[in-house]
Amino acid sequence: MKVLKVNQPASAGIAMGRAALYKPKIRKIAENTVDTNEIPHEIERFKEAVLKAEAQLKELSEANPIFAAHLEMVKDSTLHEAVILKIAEEGQNTEKAVFGACEELITIFGALEDAYMKERAADIKDIRERLLNNLTGVSAAFLTYGEDAILIAKDLTPSDTASLDLSKIKGLITRDGGITSHVAILAKSLSLPALVGVKEIMEEVREEDYLILDGYNGEILINPDGEILDKYNLLLEKHLEENRLKREEESLAGKTTDGREIHLFANVGNTGDVKKAVNFQIDGIGLYRSEFLYLNSSYFPTEEEQFLAYKESALLCGKEITIRTLDIGGDKTLPYFPMEKEDNPFLGWRAIRISLNEKEMFKNQLRAILRASAFGKIKILFPMIISLHELLKAKEILKECMAELSEQGISYDGSIETGVMIETPASVLCAEELAAEADFFSIGTNDLTQYLLAVDRGNAKIAELYNSFHPAVLRSIRLVTQAAHRYGKKAGMCGEFAGNEKATKLLIGLGLDELSMTPAKVADIKYTLRRISYEEAKSLAEEACKQTSAEAVIRVLEEN
């Protein structure tokens, strides 16, 4: 038996079955040129393929918001102009023009360092295949598998992933991609156990090898013996029983055994995400990432466009919704908002720093949020705050927006709450003074862990050093919750750590009042939470904070 391991599983769960290798056909693109009199016909063929793609994507986007972004991209005038130019001026047939225009965009996006923009290259590949399928009536995908298959692929497009037959496919492993890739996100939404970024998978696994995919521990067991199979069959039965109980309890309150209630919220990126999230028995939206409205646009969204998006989200949610103001910079840039290249973009001009510098852009967003607050319980979250001065400046601009709306007779929530995202060492150490002025805290452990430990979470060479169980991270969380509670304020968490079942007891013991996570994790965390004693959790957290390493903390958790 051979075991392959990855540091970060993409989608939790256990799958057992035969390896089925994904074999895409090599698509042959006709190289023939077209006569001048054929050009209008070829352009019309392209337009028909686009209209068909729009109809397909509109239907798909009802089930998954990733395809809403594809729908906007397939409508984009930049792509249309590039294809039509190749047909009209270079005499290319439609298939070749589509392939070439998309390939140029794929090359541009693929060369970018920004992780989010790199993912656009995968989106364009998917759109290219959809358009070519519509033009030729032939799909390049070739997926054949029997019962209980574990699909192995170099990579999969979102369309391929969404079309998997889940009655046969039990798990998914890809060579490429990371835990933030569309494949990982879709696998989570489908509750499909998945591992991504397994570099050696294509060399180590053969067709029909028997595999155990352990999405909890990030392991692939190749051709295990009977004893291992028996062990995992028992684990699988246990998890199935747990899942049954989770479904039974998902409508119950998130309370500890001794009565402490913890609100469980969802992290979302757009209105489509909200629509899906409300099906998971959430207490509200703990993090609405407003930057996705900007990232999925080819220009700055207008105040009206933002207002309509926030209003629709608030109405769909029907509960509390926290909107984080624009958080770009670092690994997220806008193609229509040029930024100077920085040696350390994660330490540079980003998030609230951009908003405070670009005041009119900031006011457009704040006015849109305020207008939407007349239609639901909306809270505002400021990212990357490092000082009281920044918070006061942001609130001052918010008051200006309120005065403008009042003068225009436009309704808004005059007592809207404003919070601080705690994601820098400075905000941890200034938590006391920030708590006096903020209405709530939300701890962003993804960036906080990175900044506290001075570890680039995207660097594979030091990935093992990036660990939110590190005592420095835990002690920081405790400092923040203590400061918030001294002022009668709530402290929540919205990073990946909030959705980690192994950390739930610890986080409750550290004093967190709210946890916000990917919607699919809410039932898991609620199930764990309802079996925790708050008093015991406090003792556990106290012991964990005394440790000197992440490994020692994990040992304490395993013993308790």
171 phi and psi angles, rounded to 5 deg? -160, 170
pLDDT at 416: 98
pTM: 0.76
432 and 495 together in one domain: yes
pLDDT at 137: 82
* Segment 90-106 mean pLDDT: 93
87 and 162 together in one domain: no
DSSP codes joined into one string, 533-546: -HHHHHHHHHHHHT
3-class DSSP state of 289: strand
Has residue 42 been placed in a domain?
A: yes
Has residue 269 been placed in a domain?
A: yes
* Segment 483-503 mean pLDDT: 95
pLDDT in tens, 296-344: 777 899 999 999 999 999 999 999 999 999 998 876 778 788 888 888 8
Q: What is the CATH number of the domain that holds 168?
A: 3.50.30.10
73 and 179 together in one domain: no
pLDDT in tens, 280-304: 999 999 999 999 888 777 789 999 9
168 and 130 together in one domain: no
Query: Has 447 been labeled as part of a binding site?
Result: yes
C-beta separation of 293 from 324 below 8 A: no
* Segment 509-527 mean pLDDT: 94
415 and 298 together in one domain: yes
pLDDT at 143: 57
Query: Has 364 been labeled as part of a binding site?
Result: no
Tell me whether residue 494 is one of the annotated catalytic residues.
yes
Query: Has 555 been labeled as part of a binding site?
Result: no
Instruction: Write down which residue in 114, 136, 158 finishes a domain.
Output: 136
Has residue 409 been placed in a domain?
A: yes
pLDDT at 65: 66
pLDDT at 383: 98
Has residue 238 been placed in a domain?
A: no
List all residues 6 or more positions away from 120 whose beta carbon is below 8 Å from its beta carbon: 73, 109
Query: Has 289 been labeled as part of a binding site?
Result: yes
Q: Which amino acid is at 378?
A: I
Tell me whether residue 182 is one of the annotated catalytic residues.
yes
291 and 211 together in one domain: no
Has residue 253 been placed in a domain?
A: no
Give me the domain span that covers residue 329: 258-559
116: confidence class by pLDDT, cuts 50, 70, 90: low
* Integer Rg of the chain from CA: 25
In degrees, rounded to 5, the angle at the alpha carbon of residue 319 between the alpha carbons of residues 314 and 325 is 50
Query: Has 457 been labeled as part of a binding site?
Result: yes
Give the dihedral of Cα atoms 330, 335, 337, 339; nearest 10 deg: 50
444 and 309 together in one domain: yes
pLDDT in tens, 365-413: 999 999 999 999 999 999 999 999 999 999 999 999 999 999 999 999 9
pLDDT in tens, 57-83: 888 876 676 787 788 889 888 899 999
Q: What is the CATH number of the domain that holds 279?
A: 3.20.20.60
- Among 102, 401, 430, 494, the one annotated catalytic: 494
119 and 161 together in one domain: no
Has residue 236 been placed in a domain?
A: no
Residues 427 and 419: their CA atoms lie apart, in Å, by 12
Q: Please, which contacts does 394-402 make with residues 24 or more away whose CB atoms are closer than 8 Å? A: 394/325, 394/352, 394/355, 394/356, 394/418, 395/437, 397/356, 397/359, 397/362, 397/363, 397/366, 398/366, 398/370, 400/363, 401/363, 401/366, 401/367, 401/370, 402/370
282 and 427 together in one domain: yes
525 and 415 together in one domain: yes
C-beta separation of 380 from 417 below 8 A: yes
Higher pLDDT, 291 or 146: 291
Q: How many residues does the chain have?
A: 560
* Segment 450-467 mean pLDDT: 82
Instruction: Write down which residue in 113, 136, 159 finishes a domain.
Output: 136
Has residue 248 been placed in a domain?
A: no
pLDDT at 115: 61
131 and 148 together in one domain: no
480 and 389 together in one domain: yes
113 phi and psi angles, rounded to 5 deg? -80, -25
Average pLDDT of the chain, as a whole number: 90
pLDDT at 141: 56
Query: Has 204 been labeled as part of a binding site?
Result: no
Q: How many domains does the chain have?
A: 3
- Among 70, 102, 182, 430, the one annotated catalytic: 182
Q: What is the CATH number of the domain that holds 90?
A: 1.10.274.10
Has residue 393 been placed in a domain?
A: yes
DSSP codes joined into one string, 299-315: SPPPHHHHHHHHHHHHH
